[in-house]
């Protein structure tokens, strides 16, 4: 429906204000919880570092002559998408791993649910686009080089991103 606002459902997310958490939350952290939170933190740092490295290496002038623009744009788009996951999704799993409750409130709960779905779908669609791109390059090289350009690839990735966001926010 056109003109529909994105409104979170009426959820009472008060899990960290449960009576069992009356004292300091530090007393409820066990060794397994600390290890789990540390692994999530290390995973977050790894995701951010690896994707930044991929983005910088693929788009560096030294390596750009070796990679065609279309795969480079798709790889950069996939890396940016995974970087967004590393910045907007995984870091917020540390406190719930420690305290077994959601301390960020219901609005960010809904935003994170939307981001998880949209970014995961975007990754899958980019991988499919990469497979189609490689298929076209291998099986139909004349058509591929004739119809592929930087401008078309940028426009395609932009439209794909807008459609994914529109699909995730619409009632279907």
Considering the domain boundaries, does residue 49 fall inside one? yes
Considering the domain boundaries, does residue 18 fall inside one? no
State which residues form the domain around 47. Answer: 29-169
Round to whole Å and give the CA distance between 133 and 135. 5
Q: What is the pLDDT of residues 32-86, one digit of tens each?
A: 888 999 999 999 999 999 999 999 999 988 887 888 878 888 899 999 999 999 9
Considering the domain boundaries, does residue 3 fall inside one? no
Considering the domain boundaries, does residue 165 fall inside one? yes
Q: What is the pLDDT of residues 73-129, one digit of tens each?
A: 889 999 999 999 999 999 999 988 887 777 888 788 888 888 998 899 889 989 998
Predicted confidence band at 23 (pLDDT cuts at 50, 70, 90)?
low
Q: What is the pLDDT of residues 137-172, one digit of tens each?
A: 889 888 777 666 667 767 777 887 787 777 767 665
At 168 the pLDDT is 66
- Here the CATH number for the domain that contains residue 52 is 1.20.1070.10
Q: Are 55 and 73 in contact (CB under 8 A)?
A: no
Number of compact structural domains in the chain = 1
Considering the domain boundaries, does residue 21 fall inside one? no
Considering the domain boundaries, does residue 13 fall inside one? no
Round to whole Å and give the CA distance between 131 and 2. 33
Contacts 24+ apart (CB under 8 A), 121-128: 121/164, 121/167, 121/168, 122/81, 122/160, 122/161, 122/164, 123/78, 123/81, 123/82, 123/85, 125/160, 125/164, 126/74, 126/77, 126/78, 126/81, 126/160, 127/78
Considering the domain boundaries, does residue 68 fall inside one? yes
At 109 the pLDDT is 84
Considering the domain boundaries, does residue 108 fall inside one? yes
């Amino acid at each position: 429906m056109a003109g529909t606002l994105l409104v979170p459902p009426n959820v009472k997310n008060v899990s960290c204000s449960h009576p069992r958490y009356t004292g300091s939350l530090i007393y409820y952290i066990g060794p397994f919880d600390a290890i789990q939170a540390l692994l999530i933190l290390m995973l977050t740092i790894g995701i951010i570092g690896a994707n930044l490295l991929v983005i910088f290496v693929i788009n560096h002038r030294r390596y750009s002559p070796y990679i065609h623009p279309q795969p480079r744009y798709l790889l950069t788009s996939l890396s940016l998408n995974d970087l967004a996951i590393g910045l907007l999704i995984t870091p917020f799993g540390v406190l719930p791993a420690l305290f077994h409750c959601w301390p960020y409130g219901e609005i960010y709960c809904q935003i994170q649910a939307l981001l998880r779905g949209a970014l995961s779908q975007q990754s899958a669609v980019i991988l499919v686009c990469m497979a189609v791109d490689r298929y076209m390059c291998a099986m139909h090289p004349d058509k591929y080089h004739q119809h592929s350009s930087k401008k078309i690839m940028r426009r395609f990735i932009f439209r794909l991103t807008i459609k994914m966001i529109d699909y995730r926010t619409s009632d279907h």
